[in-house]
Amino acid sequence: MPSPLKNRLLVVLCLLGSLLSLPQQLHGESQPPLIAFQVPDSRATFPLSINEAATVTGYYINNSGVSSGFVRYEDGQIITFDVPGSVATIPVSINTAGDITGYYNLPSNTQPSYDIPQGFVRTPEGKITTFGNPVTTASASSLWAQPVAINVAGEIIGNYPDVALASFVFLRSAAGVVLTFSLSLGAHYSTVATGLNAGGAIVGYASSQSLNLAEGFLWSGQGPPPNPGGGFTPITVAGSTGTFPTGINAEGTIVGCYAAGGLYHYFVRARDGVVKTLYIPGTVPNCIAAFTPGFIAVVPQPIIVNDQGTIIGYTTNAAQIATAFIRLEDGVVTTFNYPGSKETIPTSINNCDVITGYYSQGSEIVGFIREP
């Protein structure tokens, strides 16, 4: 858990960043609430993660339909990259140091043919290390791996999907040591990791029946998984038919959604275990990961929280437009959309409350950055 001193230093750094922009504002030049950007020669740009330096990573789709990774720096410079030998490269998370994790697809020779996702980590200097499922089995999916997040310590969490949809979770240390666990019972039910904090705590959900009936979990990062005494805590919203945590911050605040009455609802769980429903205007999207053989779509999450307690997410309004929201720690909620867009999807927020995401206008998908 970060110390109060570290939290104060972080606030000072954020304030310094704001002060640096004052001269431009004093000269009468107002900053737009949303700064749009696209990777050159792309038809769709999907930012998925932003760090404290306002460096953004994600993927873009070029005019030939190929997905590649990108990094956008605070000054607007964009570089692109691919994992050698891949048919698609999808970065999903960047940490404070600028290390990036994600997955890349390898072509498959199996029938039916599925692209094979494997993990990678990329240093700020551009060095790429790849990794996959270390479990040796007869399964064609024994090398599949989909990272979800990387924290300040360089730890990576993710999922090992399977053709039978019986996924399990991995935690990879900065040194490359991998732990795995599953909390599900039965060969065809999954355990899915969705969030990781600075201290190594993991949240996600698991099912021994349909994933619609899943129960959330928190692993504190203490003790070897999946030992029940190894720091596992079940998370269930009272009266729900399924609870799906999607994010956790350094203080232990957890956000997610739950199913009840045929609808989904957002919740926030404080460190002391008290759970409250978040009442946000609009309809909450389905929180369950989308499954296809060998693939688990867990990013972008519909709701996440930063270390300052600011929560972002999106809902769908009466006009069927996905609308973004920001909820401050004091409970004040603000909604926003890129003007004229069909959807505005926030995907990541750093600890200075700078948000990234994407919006769509017609067939065009464009990235954005929103400053506080």
Q: Which of 241, 152, 255 is nearest to 194 (CA)?
A: 255
Segment-wise mean pLDDT, segments of 10 residues, the chain, 372 residues: 48 51 34 83 96 98 95 97 94 98 80 71 97 61 83 95 74 91 72 94 85 86 58 91 95 96 95 95 89 77 96 93 94 92 96 96 92 90
Q: Per the structure block, which two tokens stand in for 316?
A: 């769908």
Q: What pLDDT score was predicted for residue 312?
A: 98
pLDDT of amino acid 9: 57
Q: Output the pLDDT for position 361.
A: 84
What per-residue confidence (pLDDT) applies to 227? 55
Within 13 A of 199's CA, how many CA atoms are on the CB side? 17
Model pLDDT, residue 12: 53
Query: Residue 168 has which token pair?
Result: 């399990």
Which residue, chain included where needed, has tokens 């050698």? 84
pLDDT of 283 reads 95
The pTM for the full model equals: 0.89
Under DSSP, is residue 19 helix (H, G, I), strand (E, B) or coil? helix
Label residue 92 left, alpha or beta by phi (over 0 means left) and psi (-120 to 50 means alpha).
alpha
What integer pLDDT is reported at residue 55 of this predicted model? 98
Instruction: Check residue 309 and give its pLDDT.
Output: 97
**Looking at 214-305, which runs of residues are DSSP E strands?**
215-219, 232-235, 242-248, 254-260, 263-269, 275-278, 290-292, 295-297, 303-305
CA angle 105, 109, 113 (to 5 degrees): 70
Separation of first and last alpha carbons in the chain: 25
